[in-house]
């Protein structure tokens, strides 16, 4: 069946047993533990980036496990929150690729990317406070198989950026010849400093692909005076 919007997808998902189980699991977790992001923001990425506007999909690991950080967009934090180390490395890589002589941005809100068609996802959309990968379960795997099935059938150019081991597991579900899949290490300090993140040129490769396919490049930094192609 052809899915034309995230609303259609979620209507279909609500009929499936695994999604009912996922909902029940989250209900209990939020009731008994401190879980991030706030419940109303779990599917925030889908709300901010409609299916028909998706140009780039960034796939990370799971939400930030510290208070007030996770906001339902992978790697993003609210404007008044200190930029986390993983996002610092993302900004650093953008600066490296485009040879910019600027400091690392001090605002970590990536809503500006979501509004450009960048779907900011994590392989697991929730976690318990201070416990990374605490929600790494098979229910999320089934959820994202369905999400990627829909994206894989989209008949237009899309770039998938798979960052880290948990994201790379989904490469096998992406085989549309119109799409580009780029794998790198995760930008967290532990992973990035081992190699495979810095100088990966994933941001430039993404924009080169979009431009080649007559699509507007992504403005990776929230600075109007910088055009990154």
Buried b (16+ CB within 10 A) or exposed e, 76-102: bbeeebebbebbbbbbebbbebbeeee
* Residue in this structure with the two tokens 């034309």, named with its chain if needed: 4
Q: What would the DSSP string read from start to end of 64-122?
A: --STTT--SSTT---TTSPPPHHHHHHHHHHHHHTT---PPPS----HHHHTTTEEEEE
Q: What would the DSSP string read from start to end of 119-183?
A: EEEESSS-EETTBTTTT--HHHHHHHHHHHHHHHT-SS--EEEEESHHHHTTGGG---TT-EEEE
The C-alpha atoms of residue 85 and residue 76 are separated, in whole angstroms, by 11
Active site residues: 62
| CA torsion angle 98 51 178 86 (round to 10) | 30
């Amino acid at each position: 069946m052809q899915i034309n919007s995230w609303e259609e997808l979620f209507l279909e998902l609500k009929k499936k047993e695994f999604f009912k189980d996922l909902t029940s699991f989250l209900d209990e977790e939020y009731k008994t533990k401190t879980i991030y992001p706030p419940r109303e923001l779990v599917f925030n990425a889908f709300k901010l980036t409609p299916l028909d506007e998706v140009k780039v999909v960034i796939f990370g690991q799971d939400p930030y496990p510290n208070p007030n950080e996770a906001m339902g967009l992978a790697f993003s934090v609210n404007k008044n929150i200190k930029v986390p180390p993983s996002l610092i490395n993302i900004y650093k890589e953008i600066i490296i690729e485009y040879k910019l002589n600027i400091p690392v941005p001090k605002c970590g809100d990536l809503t500006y990317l979501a509004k450009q068609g960048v779907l900011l996802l994590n392989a697991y959309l929730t976690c318990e406070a201070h416990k990374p990968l605490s929600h790494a379960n098979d229910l999320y795997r089934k959820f994202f198989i369905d999400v990627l099935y829909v994206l894989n059938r989209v008949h237009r150019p899309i770039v998938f950026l798979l960052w880290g081991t948990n994201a790379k597991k989904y490469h096998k579900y992406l085989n549309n010849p119109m799409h580009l899949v780029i794998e790198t290490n995760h930008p967290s300090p532990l992973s990035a400093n081992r190699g495979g993140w810095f100088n990966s040129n994933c941001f430039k490769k993404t924009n080169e692909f979009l431009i080649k396919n007559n699509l507007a490049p992504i403005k990776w930094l929230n600075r109007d005076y910088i055009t990154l192609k």
